Amino acid sequence: MAATGERVREVVTEYLRLVETGTADQITALYADDATLEDPVGSEVRRGAAAIREFYATVEPLETETRLVELRVVAGTAAFHFVIVTRPEGMTVTVSPIEVMTFDDEGRITSMKAYWGDADMRFG
């Protein structure tokens, strides 16, 4: 049985909040132990908590803002479009990915794929 739509929405909301203000450990805790992460799609697939934590640790020290644009939840899967703004070293980088996440029965993320490329980045 898949996680309920309500639970999936809660996790996506928490995920975006933690990407903005949380730690790599807090974000990683949203994932199942054997989860996969592919960000962006076409890059190396990271598997397991250590690899996922390593990925989010690169974003943790950055000043970050997120804004949900659209969310769809069906059968334990979420597809959502959001905007993420980071400010590394005095510059502003804006990316507008679409992420697809699958969830286990407990509402933990089992896979995440982020769809974006160079054309989706703005620098200012």
- Count up the domains in the chain and report the number: 1
How remote is the C-alpha of 11 from its chain's centroid? 10
**Predicted pLDDT at 90:** 86
34 located within any domain = yes
Tens digits of residue pLDDT in 39-80: 999 999 999 999 999 999 999 999 999 999 999 999 999 999
Task: Find the domain containing 100 and state its range.
Answer: 5-117
CA dist 99 and 52 (Å) reads 15
Going along 1-124, which residue ranges are E strands? 31-38, 46-47, 64-74, 77-86, 93-95, 98-103, 109-115, 121-123
Confidence of residue 2 (pLDDT cuts 50, 70, 90): confident
The reply to whether 122 falls in a domain is: no
Active site residue 34: no
Choosing from 39, 56, 118, 120, the catalytic residue is: 39
CATH for 25: 3.10.450.50
Domain membership flag for residue 124: no
**15, 31, 118, 120: the active-site residue:** 15
**Is-catalytic flag, 115?**
no
Share of the chain above pLDDT 70, in %: 99
